Amino acid sequence: MIDKIEMDIAAIGVRLLDNAYLAWFGAETECEHALHAWFRRTGDQRATAYFAYCAALDREEAAARDLERVWELAAPCRHPALRPAESAAE
């Protein structure tokens, strides 16, 4: 019974990490496109493109924070190979 619960929790964790990563990746891609669009624009369109880029950057940063938080929450459940190496000083 406990093994099934642990497997279910691990599966949920993997899905949460995957969803957070995909959300960040999509926001990062959108931000990159907005940046290129800003560079290509001229005149009045350039200012509008700049604000669109700023909004995309805000979404990318928010998605990165979410991904980082989910990664931290999953730390106890991660495979040992994915955990940060302990320093030699410790």
Domain extent listing, the chain: 22-75
Rounded Cα gap, residues 63 and 16, in angstroms: 13
Q: The pTM is what?
A: 0.76
Q: Tell me, what's the pLDDT at 11?
A: 81
24 pLDDT tier (thresholds 50, 70, 90): very high
> Which structure tokens are listed for 61?
């940063």
User: What is the distance in angstroms between the CA of the first residue and the CA of the last residue of the chain?
Assistant: 37
Q: What pLDDT, on the 0 to 100 scale, is given for residue 6?
A: 77
Per residue in 37-85, pLDDT tens? Answer: 999 999 999 999 999 999 999 999 999 999 999 998 887 776 666 656 6
Confidence (pLDDT) at 90: 47
- The residue among 67, 56, 64 whose CA lies nearest residue 17 is 67
Q: Answer for the pair 67, 27: CB distance below 8 angstroms, yes or no.
A: no
